[in-house]
Amino acid sequence: MKLIYVIVRNSDSSHLLEELNKKGFYVTKLSSTGGFLREGNTTLMIGTDEDKVDEVISIVKKEVGPRQQMLANPGNHANFESSQVMVSIGGATIFVTEVERFERI
C-alpha cells in the first residue's frame, strides 16, 4: 500500500480531483499554502495499491501539467508603466510513501 501526496494549485485541484474519482481513486483534499506565486495550494492524499501509483501520476501529469501564463509585472512605479511577463504555472509536486498499516473503519 502506498500513500501519494500531490500538491497542486487551487485552480487545478477540482478538475484533478474529479478525474481521479472517475478512475476510482479515493482522495482526501487538504488546503495548503506556499509556492513562488504565493497562491493557495491544495494537497491531495491518495491511498492506493503499489501497482496503481503510476496510473495516479499519469493522471496528474495529464490534468495539471506545466503550462505558460502571462502575468502583470508592476514595472517602475515612478512612471506607472506596466508590462507582462511569461511564467510557468501548473504542474505538481508528488511524494509517494510506504504505508505500514491501513484500516478502514
- DSSP run (H or E) holding 17: helix 10-22
- On whether the CB atoms of residues 69 and 87 are closer than 8 A, the answer is yes
Average pLDDT, the chain: 86
Cα 56 to Cα 3, 15, 24, 68: the distances in Å are 11, 14, 10, 23
pLDDT above 90 for 29: yes
Q: What is the pTM of this model?
A: 0.78
d(C-alpha 48, C-alpha 55), whole Å: 10
The CATH number given to 2-98 is: 3.30.70.120
54 contact partners, CB below 8 Å, separation of at least 6 = none
Q: pLDDT tens digit string along 51-95?
A: 999 999 999 999 998 778 777 765 555 555 667 777 777 789 999
Q: Where are the domains of the chain?
A: 2-98
